[in-house]
Amino acid sequence: MIEALDPIDRQLVNTIQLDFPLNPYPFRILGDRIGISEEEVIDRLKKLTDIGVVRKIGPILSTTAIGGSSTLIAMQVPEYEVDRVAARINEFGEVSHNYLRPGKYNLWFTVSARKKERLHEIISEISELGYPFLNLPVNRLFKIGVKFEV
């Protein structure tokens, strides 16, 4: 939990989201910036990973830039079937987020495929499940998650 983070952890978490040094020795550079050793940076990042604060350090990909296309689907699934249907949907590697939300359309998931054809294929397989759904592709983008201040 957040209470377990001291100011150095917070500084580290804030820095590595947007300003991760692309250098052969990134953790040494981070340490120099914050005033701790390379070893301590690595130890702290391991701990932050263990408690789930840091999920990974790597490339955050843009679906459209890799030539792919994506959409948001809202599906109407009876409550008693929702766990099973969600598990079936999650089998698609292209499904990146999948949530239960209140309302008539209760299963909300995003699909990001490398090729448009693949997206169509997935949507047609999803429609074969037989539940009504809305296909809600992005028309305009105003903001995409960049950084979370801790």
Partner 1 sequence: MDDLDLRLIKLTQDGIELVPEPFKKIARELNISEEEVINRINTLIEHGIVRRFGASIGHRALGILFNAMCVWNVPDHRVEEVGAIMAGFDEVSHCYERLRSPDWEYNLYAMVHARTREECERIAHEISLATGISDYTILFSEKEFKKTGVRI
In this structure, what DSSP letter does residue 131 have?
-
Provide the minimum distance between the beta carbon of 130 and partner 1 in the complex, in angstroms, as a whole number. 17
Provide the minimum distance between the beta carbon of 71 and partner 1 in the complex, in angstroms, as a whole number. 9
Provide the minimum distance between the beta carbon of 123 and partner 1 in the complex, in angstroms, as a whole number. 14
**122 makes contact with partner 1 (CB under 8 A):** no
Cβ atoms of 54 and 82 within 8 Å: the answer is no
Cβ atoms of 15 and 34 within 8 Å: the answer is yes
Phi and psi of 65, rounded to 5°?
Answer: -70, -25
Phi and psi of 56, rounded to 5°?
Answer: -170, 160
Q: Which of residues 71-100 bind partner 1 (CB under 8 A)?
A: 72, 74, 86-87, 89-90, 93, 95-100
Provide the minimum distance between the beta carbon of 143 and partner 1 in the complex, in angstroms, as a whole number. 4
Q: Residue 35 or residue 68: which is nearer to partner 1 going by CB?
A: 68
Q: Which of residues 124-143 bind partner 1 (CB under 8 A)?
A: 134-143
Considering only residues 6, 61, 81, 120, which one is a binding residue for partner 1 as defined by CB under 8 A? 61
Distance CA 42, CA 50 (A): 12
Spatial CA neighbour of 77 closest among 110, 105, 115, 58: 105
Residue that is written with structure tokens 């296309």 in the block: 69
Q: What is the CA angle 26-32-35, rounded to 5?
A: 135
Provide the minimum distance between the beta carbon of 128 and partner 1 in the complex, in angstroms, as a whole number. 19
Q: Which of residues 20-59 bind partner 1 (CB under 8 A)?
A: 20, 22-28, 38, 42, 45-46, 49, 51-59
Q: Residue 18 or residue 80: which is nearer to partner 1 going by CB?
A: 18
